[in-house]
Amino acid sequence: MHGGVVCTLLDSAAGCAVHSQLPAAVGFSSIEIKVSFLSPANGATLEIEGRSLRVGRQVAFAEAHARTAGGKLIGHATTSLALVRG
């Protein structure tokens, strides 16, 4: 599996974790993401989990992990997200 696919899944999971803590009508957009690939996915079924670390007024921080169905960690990401208040 291409690393870009795993990166997209990690970015989405981290964004969803932050989005779940935002009030209605507040959006977000990724500012930056850092991904560490620890081992190849090799077509395995993946479980992606995101966690919000801090949600401020303008910026939020989150992380996400990608694991195989057996629990082996294959990728980790940290991200910063801009909060868009309408």
Spatial separation of the C-alpha atoms in residues 38 and 74, rounded to whole Å: 5
Distance in angstroms (rounded) separating the CA atoms of residues 67 and 86: 36
Query: For the chain, what are the domain ranges?
Result: 3-85
pLDDT at 2: 77
Do the Cβ atoms of 81 and 31 come closer than 8 Å? yes
- Fold classification of 3-85 is Thiol Ester Dehydrase; Chain A (3.10.129)
Measure the CA–CA gap between 18 and 61, rounded to whole angstroms.
8
Rounded CA-CA distance 5/16 in Å is 17
> What's the whole-model pTM score?
0.91
Amino acid of residue 30? S
Instruction: Provide the pLDDT for residue 78.
Output: 98
- pLDDT averaged per 10 residues in sequence order, the chain, 86 residues: 88 97 94 95 90 97 96 97 92
